[in-house]
A and B are shown apart, each in its own frame.
Chain A
Amino acid sequence: MKETNMTNAKISARAVQVYYGDNHAIKDVNVDIEDKTVTAFIGPSGCGKSTFLRTINRMNDTIDICRVEGDILIDGEDIYDAKVDPVQLRAKVGMVFQKPNPFPKSIYDNVAYGPKIHGLARNKAELDQIVESSLRKAALWNEAKDRLNAPGTGLSGGQQQRLCIARAIATSPEVLLMDEPCSALDPIATAQVEELIDELRQSFSVVIVTHSMQQAARVSQKTAFFHLGNLVEFGETDKIFTNPEDPRTESYISGRIG
């Protein structure tokens, strides 16, 4: 990669290795994720997409046996540097998890959680405003507006997933990491979330893990294909889907490995 690329990149990973105990889950990954783009991670189950995503906001710190080597720079700053506070980092790099994990609180409190912690609202009205706009963006407002005080755990699986999306965007992160955000959604909600992703792209960079080739093709500008812990191919989405360089990428996209 050229040096110029590195300066443009919002996130750049250099020689990243991740180990779970003896299991080498991510092998020597180099990638540059640009600002104001949507990058899709695709690859067969267990190839390390979630693992790599979690290294970007240091969520792997919470796993005792997990070890990360190499550098990950965001805006040119090494996030694994001892000076960096992971708490600050995660406020900047939001995450939607693969499994919906609403807090056992009301829908309102779920969304208001981040803004309250970071003091993003000066008063109740502003907080209400943030909650409403986040729920609207996550396509949940119409279903939730009459039951904002009902527990978030009482929502359906797909609604919970959208609640988690609303929760993540309520803190206005600069980077949003989404791990299969549409896996439990119907086509209408999926379309709405994809619309949201497109909208977020105006101001943020978004990384999305997905098992749907169509979705990757629809929403992303860049695509990374992972296989057995290796980053096999990374490039323009159009190119990956129409004219992949690596035979493994081609087989995966056309459904022969997975």
Chain B
Amino acid sequence: MPILTLLIALAVIAVVGFVLGRRRALASASGDSRKLHSLPSYYGYNAALTGLVPALLVLAVWSVAQPMVLENRAQSLITQEVADDGAMNLIMADVRRLADGLSTAVAQGALAPGEAATLTTDSTDVRAILADVGVALGSDVGPDTLQAAQAYRAGALSGALWKSALVLLIAIAGTAFALMKTNAAFRARNTVERGVMAVLIAAASIAILTTIGIVLSLIFNTVEFFKMYPAADFFFGTVWQPSFSGRGGASELGLLPLLWGTLYISFVALLVAVPIGLFAAIYLSEYAGPRVRAFAKPLLEVLAGIPTIVYGLFALLIVGPMLKDVFGADGALGVAWMTGDRAVITAGLVMGIMLIPFVSSLSDDIINAVPQAMRDGSLGLGATPSETIRQVVLPAALPGIVGAILLAASRAIGETMIVVLGAGAAGRLDLNPFEAMTTVTAKIVSQLTGDSDFSSPEALVAFALGMSLFVITLGLNVFALYIVRKYREQYE
């Protein structure tokens, strides 16, 4: 049974359970809902949830576990020599593709169901049959690959059948059980409360588990990379020069130039975004009338909605050439500081513009959180609005504003598109902001695009770079949240 049908069936069971549960509860109180422990609909929800929650849980667990089990079983059928994990992964990808292909062939009638399960490479040209139904295979099919694929497919078919049966059974049994227990004294309200909690916990666990999964995969691949490339050379190397020709050896993968580029560009960006964003926030929250605010705030937020790739284009095609016209060789200043369009200053400037609404809307919230009584106190002593802001509002809001700036910094550090387009491609340790440099994020992109071998250090370094970036931004975010929270306590 396809998963969609299964879900619809579950929904039908839940609705029926709801209706029956409600009716049964009312019947047990002889139609007088005041005699019930809980409101009638709680009995309905109870019946629906008691069936639905365990059924969905089993469905989820089974859907995750089944491919793993099947894959293990199929792997044991592969008899040929397999060099390493990477090669095994490639073979298993073939197996899955082949299994899918067989199913497609059966669905289109090119193969009879029985035939698909039994055919062998000796008697049939599997590749040709699959090509006829639109599934292209890269190479001829080996006998054990075919066998593994057939086993995989058979397992998947029977697994799906068992899964549907079990899930439906659980849903019906759960609902029936809840209906059995339904009577006027049953505390359906409390049970529903627990059911709701279970649903919420499930949602939270998914969020947390995926995060853990991502971090773990980062860590594993980073460890893998450090097996091939010394960690000390990575963290303290001052040269970034990957070679794509041979494996390892020739490449120099030093983090420092990239980290420097990242921090330098972020610094320039903050130099632009923080004063402008902060002053805009102060103007909007302290000086602007309601009419200006009503129109300027959404306008700033539009800036926040522009995709970063557009900022990237803007950096590459407009800001870069414009800066070069001023600071370049034949520029307005005649200083010849800037040789190309791409430079730290180009990317930093545009990234700063991107961050302005971020800084201003966060600061605006924080400034507005400073109680009006505080301003009144200062104004009542004969202070001007700007004295009030400088001496009372900003000091009171400072921790929050610092938090906002740190959050902006962590966004700047993680920003990719603008630097890919605006900053350049050469890793360089240099102080000149008119020089092209590159960042960690930009290099992650360039290491993974192009046809590199995903198990070479040149590709795996992306994980180590990602991990370093993750640790830095995580640290910044934690620090920012700590500061923001500390600030909140002051007024609560």
What is A's interface to B at a CB cutoff of 8 Å? 57, 59, 62, 64, 87-92, 94-95, 97, 99, 101-105, 113-114, 117-118, 153, 164, 167-168, 171
The residue that B374 contacts in the complex, of A92, A95, A101, with Cβ under 8 A, is A101
- A41–chain B nearest beta-carbon distance, Å: 17
Residues of B within 8 A of A103 (CB): 374, 377-378, 391-392, 395-396
- B293–chain A nearest beta-carbon distance, Å: 10
Could you list some 27 contacts between A and B, CB below 8 A?
A57-B380, A59-B379, A59-B380, A62-B372, A62-B375, A62-B379, A90-B381, A94-B380, A94-B381, A97-B376, A101-B371, A101-B374, A101-B377, A102-B377, A103-B374, A103-B378, A103-B392, A103-B396, A104-B392, A105-B392, A105-B395, A117-B387, A117-B391, A118-B382, A153-B490, A164-B377, A168-B380
Q: In the complex, what distance in Å separates the CA atom of A33 from the CA atom of B141?
A: 104
- B282–chain A nearest beta-carbon distance, Å: 16
Contact A90 B380 (CB under 8 A): yes
Residues of B within 8 A of A94 (CB): 380-381
Per CB-CB distance, the 7 closest pairs between chain A and chain B, nearest first, are: A91-B382, A101-B373, A95-B380, A101-B377, A114-B381, A90-B382, A104-B396
Residues of B within 8 A of A153 (CB): 490
CB-based nearest B residue for A168: B381
- B448–chain A nearest beta-carbon distance, Å: 49
What is B's interface to A at a CB cutoff of 8 Å? 289-290, 371-384, 387, 391-392, 395-396, 490
Most chain-B CB neighbours within 10 Å: which of A94, A99, A101? Answer: A101
Q: In the complex, what distance in Å separates the CA atom of A114 from the CA atom of B391?
A: 11
Q: In the complex, what distance in Å separates the CA atom of A91 from the CA atom of B387?
A: 13
Q: In the complex, what distance in Å separates the CA atom of A45 from the CA atom of B372?
A: 21
Contact B371 A91 (CB under 8 A): no
Most chain-B CB neighbours within 10 Å: which of A57, A95, A104? Answer: A104
Q: In the complex, what distance in Å separates the CA atom of A153 from the CA atom of B387?
A: 20
Q: In the complex, what distance in Å separates the CA atom of A67 from the CA atom of B454?
A: 71
Given A64-B290, A103-B392, A113-B391, the answer on whether A59 and B381 have CB atoms closer than 8 Å is: no
Contact B377 A88 (CB under 8 A): no
Given A62-B372, A62-B375, A64-B290, the answer on whether A87 and B382 have CB atoms closer than 8 Å is: yes
Contact A62 B376 (CB under 8 A): yes
Contact A97 B373 (CB under 8 A): yes
Q: In the complex, what distance in Å separates the CA atom of A89 from the CA atom of B290?
A: 25
Q: In the complex, what distance in Å separates the CA atom of A99 from the CA atom of B377?
A: 10
The residue that B383 contacts in the complex, of A64, A87, A97, A105, with Cβ under 8 A, is A87
Q: In the complex, what distance in Å separates the CA atom of A169 from the CA atom of B319?
A: 56
Contact A113 B382 (CB under 8 A): no
Q: In the complex, what distance in Å separates the CA atom of A95 from the CA atom of B376?
A: 10
Contact A97 B380 (CB under 8 A): yes
Given A104-B395, A104-B396, A105-B395, the answer on whether A114 and B374 have CB atoms closer than 8 Å is: no
CB-based nearest A residue for B397: A104
Contact A113 B381 (CB under 8 A): yes
- A251–chain B nearest beta-carbon distance, Å: 33
Contact B374 A117 (CB under 8 A): no
CB-based nearest A residue for B373: A101
Residues of A within 8 A of B376 (CB): 59, 62, 97, 101
Given A97-B373, A101-B371, A101-B374, the answer on whether A171 and B381 have CB atoms closer than 8 Å is: yes
Residues of A within 8 A of B490 (CB): 104, 153
- B285–chain A nearest beta-carbon distance, Å: 13
Q: Other CB < 8 Å A-B pairs besides A90-B380, A168-B380, 5 of them?
A: A59-B379, A88-B382, A89-B382, A91-B382, A171-B381
CB-based nearest B residue for A104: B396
- A27–chain B nearest beta-carbon distance, Å: 24
Residues of A within 8 A of B371 (CB): 101
- B21–chain A nearest beta-carbon distance, Å: 50
Residues of B within 8 A of A92 (CB): 382
Q: In the complex, what distance in Å separates the CA atom of A92 from the CA atom of B381?
A: 9
Residues of B within 8 A of A91 (CB): 381-382
Q: In the complex, what distance in Å separates the CA atom of A153 from the CA atom of B396?
A: 11
CB-based nearest B residue for A65: B290
